[in-house]
Structure 1
């Protein structure tokens, strides 16, 4: 035994690999072994041994091996424990990984250490039999059982070609088609069981598939002989509810879909930054987050993956996420290698091309963009007299041009870390109609993705347009406060339009309509306007038109006690806070941090004196906490550059679209700001957190979520 152990120590000293025999439970047929897709899956957890291993039969590992057993595998993010029945590969650079994880990585052409980026001369291979092929050597220094199919094999790599370009080689392994019209067909013939349940559910839920319309005048009455030039009315909309099971068992995190009820299928293109700065833990966590997304897409959803660094490449075509499609997508994501520069524009161009060239279209389409750096290829300088570069150059014409026959797909941008160009990412999302999220810490990538796809997988309204039409002959519209939503008032002031687009299940929208209220001589009531909604149901493909009752106010002869609507007041505060954020950001970009902080402080004082704030309205409490957080992130130029800019821009994105975004939090770096979060988003986020908690590498606890719609608790 002593001589055998000396051989093992010699192998360890040479930084080679030690074969750890599997347990009895591991001796399963090849078809039952974990695939590459399973290894990448967020729910993958290495099985604990149930039978004794060599370490439990008197073998004592060295101190160096003991320390390495406490490490985290950078591929699957699971703890590498001694005697768990899984081989550990220690590379020439001294970094260790689970053998099956790194063997899968190498199989796709990765010859670089995922942690330190060192180029290996020797790589692990997975041999299906005991006898290695000619020219390969198996390291098995200890006389352990030889009947396990998982063997440690080292292959010495040939010297690189003199003209090889290591920055672009991973993206140039095979030629791409000139036209991306190879998307998988949407044809799907469900069996009788699949066919009966959705139809029944669709009928049962028909009464729930209508948008709710409510209106709130600023005050319920105006004296007869008094006129108002700037009278506010809040128009409140709530999308049809989600009928997904709210009591979903969070331990069932491996379910392919978040809901078993019918929903509109999605075409999703993910544009991922794999530049050199993403190497190591960042790329590993990105792969894990993508694994979560893939596992939660349904068989009628389609996904494509674009990877970009110095160049961009479509590494996975638009395919349906069936069982086979998921496995192929997971393998494609697992093959990613980080190196090169950052060419966001080329990545977006490829992503838009996938959407443009597809032969068939799912009802919902979206692009997810993640980057941790600045575009070093396209944006070269300011435009005209502006100090900011022309970020519109980063977007293909099909996304931001008005001459593209209405083709407009939202880009949900995720700025990762402190070095990304928040202004660029925010501009990309703003122009395309998507949201910008600030991922401050690595651990929150999966949660941020989960919240986003929780919404995308619950779209219940398409192409919503809100029409405001005056009723009283002397009434005219003043302004429409709609954030970033396109809106316009006709020249005669009698009609206005707000283009809202898509709504997620249970999502709410609030718009402030300003009108002039004329004086009345005898009428006891004045009709102001009515609201009409025109939209498409993505599930039934039907066009729907809804019309509200007329908005009326009472006209007493004498003025009574003024009763201000808290609903109107709280949303006036929201718009005012968003305006203060935009002004503070402008001042900060001009170098006036003191002025920016003063602007935010002034807004906080004004909000504190409002009716809703005095009634301790929770939205106002949350707004005050948010403004205070922004002030703290403007404490210095360094703090502002590192996180303040991105935090403010993600806040502006959230308020301007009234949609949840992910943001860092100074009191808890792994938390998300849950503004406007819908139940579907919260459910997917809970699923993500449960997946992370179930992982051996989980280092944090799940945090309760809240939404403004459900009266959030103050932070």
Structure 2
């Protein structure tokens, strides 16, 4: 039996048991209510999932958008593929036919088969064999006066805080935590295009048949917003993919003429065909690998609303067991999937971060999260189609404000016997060497004003008896340095932090036992991230009750911590995050439609300490101040002694930078002006 069929049957059996008990059924296509008595015809498929009849007619597919079961019975006729279609890509061939889109009239929809028509693609010139036709860069000479300005003199700043100010001289501690934080320099409000690092950006856009209609129109509008906010030194390439992939625009500088050409390419996109994620990403990577010139910053924005329908066979199954990433990801280039690198090219292959955006309820969150996580990008879940422009805005707000690259955080033991035990660094690679005396975290790029905070777990010995002096003795724990490349001057800079010291009195006072709230806050952040990851794994095995119980217990534990009791804004945000994740694990159907993607986008955000769009909360979007909602906090907000990140968490959601927030605000103002405010 085909691997996909086996999994489909398993999912069918599972969902049949769980979805029927759901209190609030939603349409798996539009996510609207499918309750009876609302004046809309309802279609219940053989896998037990329910949909609006008109949504299924317009979708024109035999695959369930919730569980991917292939239906044998439909309320209309779907034409069978012609004999000249490759059997391995039969669904791709079928998807070249797009059903006539019925309007959502209040009158009953006529009960007759839809009219299928093949969408005509515009005539395009053939692609070159090599994508070495990228537009040359303009040589920019750094202005010495600008480098001497306050903007040019700003450096990465380091903050280090021990979890307690003192340990008794006679006490040895096996686990003592020091918080080390980095904050990138700011960009001035009037910083022009020449004062930030220019970017080579490739957008890889899904234009399969499921994107027909308003979905593709909204994506075009979002990409046009990106085009309008790129500068003349930035370069953009547009790649579209359906059954096959095509480069619609080579890397062009976004001058006035470049913007016009880019918008023409975007507006020419037509939806039809299957979903070939592998070919789309391969072509996007080729644009970057084969370019002759390179801007300092490189990134891929990847958007898809569906599962890959073109890379599943008996050799490369579409799904893996237990919610693991599909095996077709091994077909991706090593430059976005480092696990595919051979032993001879580990050092030669450059990695391009992929910021992936799952669009709606039908996309493949496991695959998209795996791609972004492996490449150093982020995964965002766009639940409402109208949010795509704001989601893109938050992403480019960060990409257009990169100020440092190749950031390395280095910590060294500063006293005999003090050893580094662990560095829980999320997605960032860390290494401990020299028997625990040295540690390194590879941070990479930092956006302007971006903060990264890491917990360094140490073991500390007791003070030798002959060296103990009452209330005088100190132990120096860590020596901290940070090196990085300034993206404008191309120079390597190094900054040193203050030595981390603690008191070693004979006896401890009550103040010596006080837990530092900054450290406690970051411990809560790590516990919340671990809790969501554990719950997601439990949910993938079908144990939704266990997943919800786990999150409920961890939320209670978090609220009892010192930082939460002090009214810390980040802790309140984390508690709301876990609560919303728990809610979206309410039943199997809800988890498959919106819970899995929400959890994975949260895991991506926490692991990278970088904002992502999650459900209906856009990265960098300001939440209403009069109410507490996911991503916002009200009431007493304890200001962070580190860099003030708590206040930002309260206003814009965790990890968002001012540049991200400003770009999202710009998008939202444009939406209001044009009368397209997202719901």
TM-score (norm 2): 0.74
Q: Is the 8 A contact 1:290 1:333 kept in 2?
A: yes
Q: Is the 8 A contact 1:410 1:429 kept in 2?
A: yes
Q: What's the CA shift string for 1:346-383, capped at 9, x where partnerless? A: 11101111111111100000000000001122354279
**Corresponding residue to 2:305 among 364, 372, 381:** 372
1:448 equivalent in alignment to 2:391: yes
1:544 equivalent in alignment to 2:493: yes
Q: Distance in 2 between matches of 1:676 and 1:352?
A: 28
Q: How does 1:374-389 map to 2 (within 5 A)?
A: 374-378=307-311, 380-381=316-317, 388=324, 389=326
Q: Distance in 2 between matches of 1:502 and 1:319?
A: 24
Match of 1:284 in 2: 217
1:271–1:700 distance in 2 versus 1, CA, 3 Å: closer
The Cα shift of 1:468 comes to 1.3
Q: Distance in 2 between matches of 1:188 and 1:407?
A: 23
Q: Is the 8 A contact 1:397 1:404 kept in 2?
A: no
Match of 1:662 in 2: 613
SS of 1:588's equivalent? Answer: helix
Q: Is the 8 A contact 1:455 1:680 kept in 2?
A: yes
Q: Distance in 2 between matches of 1:357 and 1:277?
A: 31
**Corresponding residue to 2:425 among 472, 478, 482:** 482
Q: Distance in 2 between matches of 1:346 and 1:404?
A: 25
Match of 2:555 in 1: 604
Match of 2:569 in 1: 618
State which structure, 1 or 2, has the greater radius of gyration over its C-alpha atoms: 1
Q: Distance in 2 between matches of 1:240 and 1:667?
A: 24
1:515 equivalent in alignment to 2:458: yes
1:555 equivalent in alignment to 2:500: no
SS of 1:438's equivalent? Answer: strand
Match of 1:473 in 2: 416
Match of 1:243 in 2: 188
SS of 1:241's equivalent? Answer: coil
Q: Is the 8 A contact 2:299 2:354 kept in 1?
A: yes
Q: What's the CA shift string for 1:468-490, capped at 9, x where partnerless? A: 11111211110001111111111
Q: Distance in 1 between matches of 2:431 and 2:208?
A: 42
Q: Is the 8 A contact 2:304 2:363 kept in 1?
A: yes
SS of 1:558's equivalent? Answer: coil
Q: Distance in 2 between matches of 1:525 and 1:350?
A: 59
1:172–1:352 distance in 2 versus 1, CA, 3 Å: farther
Q: Is the 8 A contact 2:204 2:241 kept in 1?
A: yes
The Cα shift of 1:200 comes to 3.5
The Cα shift of 1:399 comes to 2.0
Computed over aligned residues only, the root mean square deviation of the Cα atoms, in angstroms, reads 2.6
1:678–1:391 distance in 2 versus 1, CA, 3 Å: farther
Q: Distance in 1 between matches of 2:220 and 2:323?
A: 36
Match of 1:396 in 2: 333
Match of 1:686 in 2: 665
Q: What's the CA shift string for 1:9-33, capped at 9, x where partnerless? A: xxxxxxxxxxxxxxxxxxxxxxxxx
The Cα shift of 1:616 comes to 1.0
Match of 1:341 in 2: 274
Q: Is the 8 A contact 1:693 1:700 kept in 2?
A: no
Q: Distance in 2 between matches of 1:531 and 1:334?
A: 51
Q: Is the 8 A contact 1:398 1:404 kept in 2?
A: no
Moved more, 220-229 or 377-386: 377-386
1:666–1:238 distance in 2 versus 1, CA, 3 Å: closer
Match of 2:445 in 1: 502
Q: What's the CA shift string for 1:82-115, capped at 9, x where partnerless? A: xxxxxxxxxxxxxxxxxxxxxxxxxxxxxx9999
Match of 2:167 in 1: 222
Q: How does 1:37-48 map to 2 (within 5 A)?
A: none
1:330–1:113 distance in 2 versus 1, CA, 3 Å: farther
Moved more, 553-562 or 381-390: 381-390
Q: Is the 8 A contact 2:222 2:392 kept in 1?
A: yes
Q: Is the 8 A contact 1:115 1:279 kept in 2?
A: no
1:629 equivalent in alignment to 2:580: yes
The Cα shift of 1:648 comes to 0.7
Match of 1:323 in 2: 256
1:413 equivalent in alignment to 2:362: no
SS of 1:502's equivalent? Answer: strand
TM-score (norm 1): 0.70
SS of 1:616's equivalent? Answer: coil
Q: May I ask how many residue pairs the two structures share in their alignment?
A: 524
The Cα shift of 1:610 comes to 0.6
1:115–1:203 distance in 2 versus 1, CA, 3 Å: farther
1:392–1:684 distance in 2 versus 1, CA, 3 Å: same
1:391–1:661 distance in 2 versus 1, CA, 3 Å: farther
Q: Is the 8 A contact 2:98 2:272 kept in 1?
A: no
1:418–1:700 distance in 2 versus 1, CA, 3 Å: closer
Q: Is the 8 A contact 2:161 2:178 kept in 1?
A: yes
The Cα shift of 1:700 comes to 4.8
Q: Is the 8 A contact 1:477 1:516 kept in 2?
A: yes
Q: Is the 8 A contact 1:211 1:240 kept in 2?
A: yes
Match of 2:479 in 1: 530
Q: Distance in 2 between matches of 1:555 and 1:512?
A: 22
1:223–1:424 distance in 2 versus 1, CA, 3 Å: same
The Cα shift of 1:334 comes to 0.4
SS of 2:264's equivalent? Answer: helix
Match of 2:197 in 1: 264
Q: Distance in 1 between matches of 2:550 and 2:216?
A: 39
The Cα shift of 1:396 comes to 1.1
Q: How does 1:85-96 map to 2 (within 5 A)?
A: none
Q: Distance in 1 between matches of 2:365 and 2:140?
A: 44
Alignment gaps of 5+ in structure 1? 1-111, 119-164, 246-257, 702-715
Q: What's the CA shift string for 1:57-100, capped at 9, x where partnerless? A: xxxxxxxxxxxxxxxxxxxxxxxxxxxxxxxxxxxxxxxxxxxx
Q: Distance in 1 between matches of 2:490 and 2:100?
A: 51
Match of 1:676 in 2: 655
Q: How does 1:201-216 map to 2 (within 5 A)?
A: 201-206=146-151, 208-216=153-161
Match of 1:437 in 2: 380
Q: What's the CA shift string for 1:288-324, capped at 9, x where partnerless? A: 0010000000000000000000000101000100000
Alignment gaps of 5+ in structure 2? 1-95, 103-116, 624-629, 632-652
Q: Distance in 1 between matches of 2:197 and 2:254?
A: 14
1:289–1:471 distance in 2 versus 1, CA, 3 Å: same
